[in-house]
């Protein structure tokens, strides 16, 4: 192979140019995102049920939908929430299934589900989105007082929304704000005066407006379309509609009701910005759509809408978009990559001390990265925090193969410099030099690839996060082999000349090293025993290190969740939101604040008792008042202590959405209490909350309020109804229509239609005694029956929210963590709960949130890593055909963990999944260096040298490549270690472990491995 490559070297050069050019194209065009979307494959079903209590929604809607949907192929889990007026059912499918096929399966089942629901209740599928779906939030703003919120909502609904939804990748736009309506508000006393019922109003308004088509007719004027036009286009038309003729006088709607422009009643949410309600919107992206490209298109289109479509005094104001986080996170990694390349290049120059050789080695890094980008693009990977993080982590490793190849070529050329001008001799030297190290280098790189294979066993969120990282490293390592074996021999032929192998730096290092090795040989046994004890001590330290899933990714924003009394009104919730925004903006680190109260027209399963306040922050380098985001959160928490809230939870926008979709909660840790009795599971949850609050490290502990929702129940007086000849169904129908407000016609404004609705005035609905006086039915003699005549009206307590998981009810306690690791906290909390709470039969507690992810990942690693180590041993045995040499190299693996554990302990980082990946990388690097050294010792022995001389020659000749590998791998990670920018949090534990592990593994490879190899070799040869 190498002979052919050198023979057709010009073709290789052309291939290099072509491949690198494509790699550059891939680098510039590869899709960019913040990080891999970790949310599961799921389909959501929403069912509106106005007037239904949470208990009725659960029994009559949610449970029936769950039963129908749970049998769908590949459904692993079903979660649901039932609140007054709304059912939400989430179906979680196995990873790897096609989301579009899954949605089709659900759609096919929807008719069956609907057939089991009460009449008029229609389930619909939610948007095809994910936890990273809320890519942009914007508000429609104006300083012109002539525009009302309903006007702005109409502009958004009928003008802006269609334009933005036409952009490929936009799945939905969730819209906040009141929808314009024309309201007929009957006066109960006037209805009684004229003996008119609410149903009379309804029928009159319904029958006096609309359109009708009469087909076509042929006339002298031509073929005409026949139309009957009676559309309502003026508010006076509504007022003039006749309801009844009494004693020759026409009683019109204006005589018994007010008619006014207003909003569709029963709105359960609001969007506030800097203390004022505005028309707000959330752009939801479709799954598998590139975030950065979509936001770029959205911004371009919004700019055009502002310039060309909207009136001058109305503007779209972008409040938040994910591209900020994407840009910051990727710039962090790109900066680390660039700085790493510079540091590694400097190290190459110093170690090789030959400009030509160093340039060739340095060039191998960008060549490798560009080839990796080309492969990534074709594999469908995105350039994100994890995939680019993989390149940053492995940066120093990508030059390893080239270092050995170029160093060996340079050494052989220098030894044969007097014959180098002979025809064909240089080609022969390069060929033999490459062949000499092909097998050990190939196996060494292959072993590093193998050590990353356990990551592919990850499931769920950890799999989606870290598989791209492992795949990118493996792809780049493969590319580095290709560069080293195909391009570098040819470039060495054209660019490398014989020279001095000596450099004062390497001479100095070599002298120090040989003295250390010589001294170590004298105390070999003691040194080995000390290392074993050191390894044991590091394992003890490991038990003192905390555990967590991953370090928190800082998004540069705070999301404050506010839980209010379940019976609070929308206006009072808005007032509290305004106060929170005002107080948050009093801090100089805050740039903007806005809040969502309750829910919009679709999406969140919340009510007005829940507020999300978004607090956008200045870049950290501009902060003066606080050192960290946590300090700011604590200060704001103190400032909000006097507010009448049930609970405050501080989190971040994307983190909260992902937590909610993964575990059904909006916090780091959740305790779920399962059982049949709603009252009992809530009582147990309150006890869990008390225990959690007493457990060190807990913060924002909050039991979700599920009970205490007051209901106004209207219970039929059956005898009275039957006496007057009315059915219960008739009463229920009237109450269902008129209490919430009912659409009776439509108001036309050009191409836009607004509903005309009959709505009982607020001053009546706010007074139970007035509600009782509402005239609903008419007796045979023409007199009216009031509501209190045919029904009992009373207030009773009920439930505000009922949760299910796989059909089982559960209550929820959620909390965040501060100043303590996740693993020890959960262990203590679980112990305290077990000691203090005796669960009734059939009741049980589960922990969810990040702990669930961390436990699953660590359990999987505990199984798969030993298998990977066994694979490494098999590869080593295949390479050496020697159990002895394979085991000696494997000795590096446990000893390499010493530095990683020490570095983790000293730095204060917890043992997390990224840290575990760091240990995996260290295993590979330690094995690689062991392979390089042992292979050369064996070569020297095969050439007839004794063990002393073989070790002496091997350690001297392999010192430089081993040091280059260790230094390059470490220096490539140093920029990550010292950056505090957004996106560095997840990479830092990997960098800490790898740098610490390389330090001890390199020492042990260069000092302990020769000692042990010599000792074992002598024993085995003495026996033979």
Domain-located, residue 147: no
Contact by Cβ (8 Å): 329, 469: no
What pLDDT sits at residue 872? Answer: 82
Query: Residue 272: inside a domain, yes or no?
Result: no
Helix 1009-1023 vs helix 504-522: angle between axes, to the nearest 10 degrees? 50
Distance CA 452, CA 922 (A): 11
Q: Which residues contact 849 (CB under 8 A, 6 or more apart)?
A: 659, 663, 665, 667, 668, 669, 670, 814
Residue bearing tokens 């055909």: 881
Q: pLDDT band for 175, please (50, 70, 90 cuts).
A: very high
Q: Is residue 291 part of a domain?
A: no
Tokens of 862: 């505990």
Backbone torsions φ then ψ of 756, nearest 5 degrees: -105, 125
- Is residue 825 domain-shared with residue 917, that is, in the same domain? no
CA distances from 331 to 221, 334, 335, 384, 984 (A): 71, 5, 6, 10, 10
Q: pLDDT by residue (tens digit) across 210-247?
A: 777 778 888 887 888 888 888 888 999 999 999 988 77
Confidence (pLDDT) at 723: 86
Stated length of the chain: 1024
Q: How confident is the model at residue 645 (pLDDT cuts 50, 70, 90)?
A: confident
Question: Considering the chain, what is the average pLDDT of its residues?
Answer: 85
On whether both 444 and 372 belong to a single domain, the answer is yes
Same domain membership, residue 209 and residue 119: no
Residues 86 and 8 in one domain: no
Q: What is the CATH number of the domain that holds 933?
A: 1.20.1640.10
- Shared domain for 74 and 206, answered yes or no, is no
Question: In whole angstroms, what is the distance from residue 471 CA to residue 383 CA?
Answer: 12
In a domain, 585, yes or no: yes
Return the CATH number at 672.
Answer: 3.30.70.1440
787 & 813 share domain: no
What are the counts of helices (DSSP H) followed by strands (DSSP E) for the chain? Answer: 39, 30
Q: How far apart are CA 653 and CA 634, in angstroms?
A: 18
Residue 499's pLDDT is 63
* Domain co-membership, 695 together with 726: no
Tell me, rounded to whole angstroms, the distance of Cα 1016 from its chain centroid. 51
Are the C-beta atoms of 256 and 243 separated by less than 8 Å? Answer: yes
Which of these, 561, 854, 845, lies nearest to 689 by C-alpha position? 845
**Residues facing 244 on adjacent strands:** 251
- The DSSP output letter for 793 is E
Say what the pLDDT of residue 647 is. Answer: 81
> Mean per-residue pLDDT for 898-906?
88
Tokens representing 564? 């209010």
406 near 496, Cβ under 8 Å? yes
Same domain assignment for residues 832 and 886: no
Phi, then psi, of 642 in degrees rounded to 5: -85, -5
Residue 338 pLDDT exceeds 60:
yes
Please give the structure tokens belonging to residue 1009: 């491995």
Residue by residue, DSSP assigns 60-98 as IIIHHHHHHHTTSTTEEEEEEEEETTEEEEEEEEPTTS-
Give 801-852 pLDDT, tens digit per residue. 899 999 899 998 988 888 777 888 888 898 999 889 898 998 999 888 777 7
* Residue 229, in any domain of the structure: yes
How many domains in the chain?
4
Q: Are residues 887 and 924 in the same domain?
A: yes
The residues, ordered by sequence, that sit 6+ positions from 946 with a Cβ below 8 Å of its Cβ are none
In a domain, 636, yes or no: yes
Same domain, 426 and 526: yes
Residues spanned by the domain of 97: 34-128
Of 128, 156, 172, the one marking the end of a domain is 128
Which neighbouring-strand residues pair with 649?
561
How far apart CA 34 and CA 985 sit, in angstroms, is 13
Which contacts (CB < 8 Å, 24+ apart) does range 975-978 have? 975/335, 975/336, 975/339, 975/340, 975/343, 975/392, 976/336, 976/340, 976/392, 976/393
Please state, in angstroms and as integers, the Cα–Cα distance from residue 925 to each residue in 286, 435, 442, 963, 1000, following that order.
Answer: 40, 22, 14, 12, 11
Q: Where are the alpha helices (DSSP H) in 30-62?
A: 54-57
Residue 271 domain-assigned (yes or no): no
> What's the CA gap between 926 and 876, in Å, rounded?
13
Integer-rounded Cα Rg, in Å, for the chain is 36
Q: 247: domain CATH number?
A: 3.30.2090.10
The first and second tokens of residue 366, run together, are: 């960008």
Burial of 736 (0-12, 13-18, 19+ CB in 10 A): middle
In a domain, 275, yes or no: no
Q: What is the pLDDT of residue 334?
A: 76
Q: How many CB atoms lie within 10 A of CB 971?
A: 22
DSSP 176-215: -SPPEEEEEEE-HHHHHHTT--HHHHHHHHHHS-EEEEEE
- ∠ CA 197-198-199, nearest 5°, is 90
* Chain segment 561-602, per-residue pLDDT in tens: 898 888 899 899 999 999 999 999 999 999 989 999 988 876
298-328: pLDDT as tens digits = 999 999 999 999 998 999 999 988 887 777 7
Percent of the chain with pLDDT strictly greater than 90: 23
Q: Are the beta carbons of 64 and 116 closer than 8 angstroms?
A: yes
In a shared domain, residues 738 and 633 = no
Of the listed ranges 111-120, 702-711, 759-768, the one predicted with least confidence: 702-711
Using the structure block, give the residue that is written with the tokens 């929807």.
Answer: 110
Long-range Cβ pairs for the range 944-949 (8 Å, 24+) = 947/1014, 947/1017, 947/1018, 947/1021, 948/1014
- Domain stop point among 732, 767, 799: 799
Confidence (pLDDT) at 613: 93
**What is the predicted pLDDT for the residue at 316?**
94
Higher confidence at residue 1013 or residue 417? 1013
Contact 399, 344 (CB under 8 A): yes
DSSP 696: T
Residue 332: closest CA among 1008, 930, 1012, 987: 987
Dihedral Cα 107, 112, 115, 116, nearest 10 deg: -110
Q: What pTM was computed for the model?
A: 0.82
Tell how strand 180-186 and strand 752-758 pair up. parallel
Q: Are strands 784-786 and 610-617 parallel, antiparallel or unpaired?
A: unpaired
Looking at the fold, whether 1019 and 959 belong to one and the same domain comes out as yes
Reduced to 3 states, what is the DSSP secondary structure of residue 591?
Answer: strand
């Amino acid at each position: 192979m190498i002979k052919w490559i050198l023979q057709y070297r010009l073709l290789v050069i052309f291939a290099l140019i072509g491949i690198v050019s494509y790699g550059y194209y891939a680098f510039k065009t590869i899709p960019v995102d913040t990080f891999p979307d970790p949310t599961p494959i799921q389909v959501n079903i929403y069912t509106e049920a106005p007037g239904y209590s949470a208990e009725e929604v659960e029994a009559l809607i949610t449970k029936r939908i769950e039963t129908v949907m749970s049998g769908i192929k590949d459904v692993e889990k079903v979660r649901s929430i039932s609140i007054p007026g709304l059912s939400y059912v989430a179906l979680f499918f196995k990873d790897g299934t096609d989301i579009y096929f899954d949605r089709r399966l659900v759609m096919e089942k929807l008719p069956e589900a609907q057939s089991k629901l009460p009449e008029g209740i229609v389930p619909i599928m939610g948007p095809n989105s994910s936890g990273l779906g809320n890519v942009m939030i914007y508000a429609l703003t104006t300083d012109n007082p002539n525009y009302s919120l309903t006007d702005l909502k109409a502009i958004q609904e009928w003008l802006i929304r269609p334009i933005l939804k036409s952009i490929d990748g936009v799945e939905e736009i969730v819209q906040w704000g009141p929808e314009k309506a024309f309201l007929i508000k009957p006066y109960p006393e006037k209805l009684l005066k004229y003996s008119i019922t609410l149903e009379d109003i309804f029928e009159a308004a319904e029958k006096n407006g609309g359109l009708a088509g009469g087909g076509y007719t042929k006339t002298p004027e031509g073929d005409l379309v026949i139309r009957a036009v009676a559309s309502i286009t003026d508010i006076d038309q509504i007022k003039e509609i006749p309801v009844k003729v009494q004693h020759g006088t026409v009683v019109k709607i204006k005589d018994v009701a007010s008619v006014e422009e207003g909003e569709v009643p029963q709105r359960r949410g609001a969007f506030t910005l800097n203390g004022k309600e505005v028309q707000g919107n959330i752009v939801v992206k479709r799954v598998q759509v590139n975030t950065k490209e979509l936001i770029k298109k959205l911004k371009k289109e919004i700019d055009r809408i502002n310039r060309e479509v909207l009136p001058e005094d109305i503007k779209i104001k972008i409040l938040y978009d994910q591209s900020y986080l994407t840009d910051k996170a990727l710039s962090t990694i790109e900066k680390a990559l660039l700085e790493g390349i510079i540091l590694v290049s400097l190290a190459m120059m110093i170690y090789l001390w030959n400009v030509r050789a160093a340039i060739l080695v340095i060039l191998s890094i960008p060549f490798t990265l560009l080839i990796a980008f080309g492969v990534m693009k074709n594999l469908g990977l995105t350039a994100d925090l994890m995939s680019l993080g993989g390149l940053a982590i492995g940066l120093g490793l990508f030059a390893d193969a080239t270092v050995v190849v170029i160093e060996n070529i340079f050494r052989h050329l220098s030894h044969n410099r007097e014959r180098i001008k002979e025809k064909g001799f240089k080609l022969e030297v390069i060929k033999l030099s490459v062949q000499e190290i092909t097998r050990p280098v190939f196996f060494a790189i292959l072993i590093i690839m193998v050590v990353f294979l356990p990551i592919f066993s990850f499931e769920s969120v950890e799999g989606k996060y870290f598989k791209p990282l492992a795949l990118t490293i493996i792809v780049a390592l493969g590319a580095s082999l290709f560069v080293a074996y195909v391009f570098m021999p040819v470039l060495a032929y054209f660019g490398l000349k014989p020279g001095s192998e000596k450099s004062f730096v390497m001479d100095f290092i070599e002298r120090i090293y040989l003295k250390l090795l010589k001294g170590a040989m004298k105390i070999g046994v003691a040194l080995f025993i000390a290392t074993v004890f050191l390894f044991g001590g590091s394992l003890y330290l490991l038990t003192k290190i905390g555990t967590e899933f991953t370090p928190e990714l800082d998004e540069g924003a705070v999301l404050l969740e506010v839980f209010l009394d379940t019976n609070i009104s929308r206006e009072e919730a808005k007032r509290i939101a305004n106060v929170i925004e005002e107080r948050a903006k009093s801090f100089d680190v805050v740039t903007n604040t806005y809040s969502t109260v309750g829910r919009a027209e679709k999406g969140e399963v919340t009510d007005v008792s829940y507020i999300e306040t978004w607090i956008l922050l200045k870049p950290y380098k501009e902060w003066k008042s606080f050192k960290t985001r946590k300090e700011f959160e604590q200060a704001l928490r103190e400032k909000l202590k006097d507010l009448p809230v049930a609970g405050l939870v501080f989190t971040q926008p994307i983190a909260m959405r992902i937590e909610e979709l993964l575990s059904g909660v909006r916090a780091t840790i959740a305790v779920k209490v399962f059982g049949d009795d709603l009252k009992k599971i809530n009582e147990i949850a309150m006890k869990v909350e008390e225990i959690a609050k007493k457990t060190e490290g807990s913060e924002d502990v909050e039991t979700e309020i599920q009970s205490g929702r007051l209901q106004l129940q209207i219970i039929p007086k059956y005898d009275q109804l039957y006496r007057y000849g009315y059915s219960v169904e008739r009463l229920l129908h009237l109450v269902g229509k008129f209490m919430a407000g009912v659409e009776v016609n439509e108001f036309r404004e050009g191409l836009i239609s607004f509903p005309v609705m009959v709505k009982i005035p607020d001053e009546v609905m706010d007074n139970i005694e007035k509600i009782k006086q509402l005239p609903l039915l008419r007796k045979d003699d023409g007199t009216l029956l009031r509501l209190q005549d045919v029904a009992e009206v009373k207030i009773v307590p009920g439930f505000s929210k009922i949760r299910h998981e796989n059909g089982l009810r559960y209550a929820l306690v959620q909390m965040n963590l501060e100043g303590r690791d996740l693993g020890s906290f959960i262990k203590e909390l679980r112990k305290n709960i077990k000691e203090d709470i005796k669960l009734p039969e059939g009741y049980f507690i589960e922990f969810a949130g990040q702990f669930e992810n961390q436990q699953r990942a660590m359990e999987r690693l505990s199984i798969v890593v030993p298998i990977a180590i066994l694979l490494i041993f098999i590869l080593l045995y295949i390479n050496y055909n020697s159990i002895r040499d394979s085991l000696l190299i494997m000795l590096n693996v446990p000893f390499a963990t010493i530095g990683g554990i020490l570095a983790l302990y000293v730095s204060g980082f917890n043992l997390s999944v990224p840290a575990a990946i760091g240990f995996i990388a260290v295993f590979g690097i330690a094995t690689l260096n062991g392979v390089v050294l042992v292979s050369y010792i064996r070569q020297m022995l095969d050439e007839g040298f004794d063990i002393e001389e073989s070790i002496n020659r091997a350690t001297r000749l392999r010192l430089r490549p081993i040091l280059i590998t260790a230094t390059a791998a470490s220096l490539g990670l140093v920029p990550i270690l010292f950056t505090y920018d957004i996106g560095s949090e997840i990479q830092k534990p990997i960098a800490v472990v790898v740098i610490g592990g390389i330090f001890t593994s390199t020492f042990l490879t260069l000092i302990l491995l020769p000692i042990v190899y010599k000792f074992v070799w002598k024993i085995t040869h003495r026996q033979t």
